[in-house]
Amino acid sequence: MTELTGAAAAANQPQGAISGSDRTASGRRRHIVLTSHPRRSGQKGSPIHWGHSDPVKRGPIVATVADPSHRNAIGTHSGSYAVYRALAVASGVLHPEHRPDLTHTAPAVALGPHPSWGEGEKIVSLDPFGALVGEVFQPWLAQGVDIRPTIAITRAHIQMPELMAAVRQGRLREDGEIVKPGGDLVVTKAAIEPVWYLPGVAQRLQVREDDLRYALFEQTGGMFPELVTRPDLKVFLPPIGGITVYLVGNLAAMTDPDLPLAVRVHDECNGSDVFGSDICTCRPYLVHGLEECIQTAQQGGAGIIVYFRKEGRALGEVTKFLVYNARKRQEGGDRADAYFARTECVAGVQDVRFQELMPDVLHWLGITRIDRFVSMSDMKYNAIVRSGIEIVHRIPIPEDLIPADAQVEIEAKKAAGYYTDRGPLSPDGLAQVKGRALAE
Ligand SMILES: [Zn+2]
């Protein structure tokens, strides 16, 4: 992809200026530096040695748009929120060269480093040093390079009605430390933005790096030309949702094989997680995962919820709602034996979450064994085990937590290979599991 449009094409200046007027209405320079080709001077951002355990040798990820000559990555910070940043700049409420003041923003709790941080391509979809940039990249910061955290770690109390009910019903106990009087849960939480090492992501998906780069370029409408023009840039900050990790209990238990660890890996489902929709088991299973985490933490261990922004199996919520309509309007009504077929009709594929990349966050936390894995997904289980983490027990959702209309989903998933201690239904049995009609 070398074609340029407008003035740059006319001037044949790959990194030159595109200008109508040289100044915006607010007086700022309107000078655009394209990074789709290496600078003629040969000046490039500092090299990244991905997978190196020493952060100084690994080098910082520089995705600032303030100084293109410092960049050594494709894309930019804040995922899809970069577009809102652009609106703020266009509206004149944010100076394009604003630099964050990171005073007092360092992690509230130290996580890592762990041996996995330096084990080659064990972590390829996040920057293990992303929370520590202010500490470990001082030599670059001192030279004025704009390096931004891609991970932030803080502490919080969370209040969920189901957890408070579990305390009242005696399933959870207030210990004053993990569960406060009244049912407040004390957590450490980490927000993580994706940072992809493209050769490692390609290897994980067993595709050629060239093919991955081309598909990313094309399917984002050509948003990131460097994907195809700059094979020297190996790191990409994709404009997608990130991960939030909730940690409960003794954090040392995450890496101590003598202490128990419970983990739920949860993919976003706004309709259920936030609004309580009864068509699926997402929120009930999420809350059950939290209960398992708390009980494990109260035995001296730790519990972890990993929450991925992968709405609707990463197909998005518009696709999801279209599928709901198709399921409920199809001949014979909503039923378990046609559950996955309806998604495939609309989206062309059943699932694009690509769990192959998911275990990276567990390796970032230094986990090598999970005692209680609160998920029935065979895809998540296989991805974690194949990445070298042992799983001792798998915890299905208790039957009494499954909403009536969600029987279609859960039976379809069990028939497709999800973990169950009772076995999946027969094809005939599957066809009998019906959901509510659209008008009801
Ligand atoms: Zn759901």
> Hey, CA dihedral for 234, 239, 243, 244, is it positive or negative?
positive
CB 57 within 8 A of CB 49: yes
Task: Show which residues are catalytic.
Answer: 351, 353
Burial class of 15 by CB neighbour count within 10 A (0 to 12, 13 to 18, 19+) = middle
CA of 405 to the centre of ligand 1 (A): 12
The pLDDT score that the predictor gives to residue 36 is 74
* Predicted confidence (pLDDT) per residue in 272-319, tens digit: 999 999 999 999 999 999 999 999 999 999 999 999 999 999 999 999
The pLDDT score that the predictor gives to residue 12 is 38
Helices (H), 191-338: 198-205, 209-219, 226-229, 270-273, 282-298, 311-314, 317-329
CA of 281 to the centre of ligand 1 (A): 6
CA of 425 to the centre of ligand 1 (A): 21
The pLDDT score that the predictor gives to residue 200 is 98
Q: What is the DSSP string of 257-290?
A: TTS-EEEEEEE--HHHHTT--SSSSHHHHHHHHH
| Token couple for 332 | 């014979």
Q: What is the DSSP letter of 425?
A: P
The pLDDT score that the predictor gives to residue 26 is 56
* Predicted confidence (pLDDT) per residue in 99-156, tens digit: 999 999 999 999 999 999 999 789 999 999 999 999 999 999 999 999 999 999 999 9
> Hey, CA dihedral for 308, 309, 312, 314, is it positive or negative?
negative
CA of 362 to the centre of ligand 1 (A): 23
CA of 231 to the centre of ligand 1 (A): 39
CA of 271 to the centre of ligand 1 (A): 7
CA dihedral 395, 401, 405, 410 (to 10 degrees): 10
Number of other residues whose CB lies within 10 A of the CB of residue 348: 10
- Which pairs from 170-173 meet CB under 8 Å and 24+ separation? 171/291, 172/291, 172/294, 172/295, 173/298
- Binning pLDDT at 50, 70 and 90, where does residue 8 land? very low
Q: Supply the Cα-derived Rg of the chain in whole angstroms.
A: 24
Ion ligand 1 residue ranges (Cβ < 5 Å): 269, 272, 280, 282
CA of 80 to the centre of ligand 1 (A): 22
User: Which single residue is written with the structure tokens 């391509």?
Assistant: 121
Burial class of 73 by CB neighbour count within 10 A (0 to 12, 13 to 18, 19+) = buried
* Predicted confidence (pLDDT) per residue in 23-61, tens digit: 565 556 566 666 777 665 555 789 999 999 999 999 999
Considering only 3-7, 87-91, 99-103, 308-312, which range has the smallest mean pLDDT?
Answer: 3-7
CB 75 within 8 A of CB 224: yes
pLDDT at residue 6 tops 60: no
Please tell me the pTM assigned to this model.
0.91
CA of 288 to the centre of ligand 1 (A): 14
Pairing of strands 235-237, 196-197: antiparallel
The pLDDT score that the predictor gives to residue 4 is 38
CA of 388 to the centre of ligand 1 (A): 28
CA dihedral 235, 239, 240, 242 (to 10 degrees): 60
The Cα–Cα gap between 269 and 288 comes to 15
**Among 243, 229, 240, 241, which Cα is nearest to 361's?**
243
pLDDT at residue 348 tops 60: yes
CB 294 within 8 A of CB 394: no
pLDDT at residue 2 tops 70: no
pLDDT at residue 228 tops 70: yes
pLDDT at residue 70 tops 60: yes
Burial class of 57 by CB neighbour count within 10 A (0 to 12, 13 to 18, 19+) = exposed
Residues 6 or more apart in contact with residue 357 via CB below 8 angstroms:
124, 125, 201, 204
CA of 435 to the centre of ligand 1 (A): 15
SS3 call for 188: strand
Number of other residues whose CB lies within 10 A of the CB of residue 286: 20
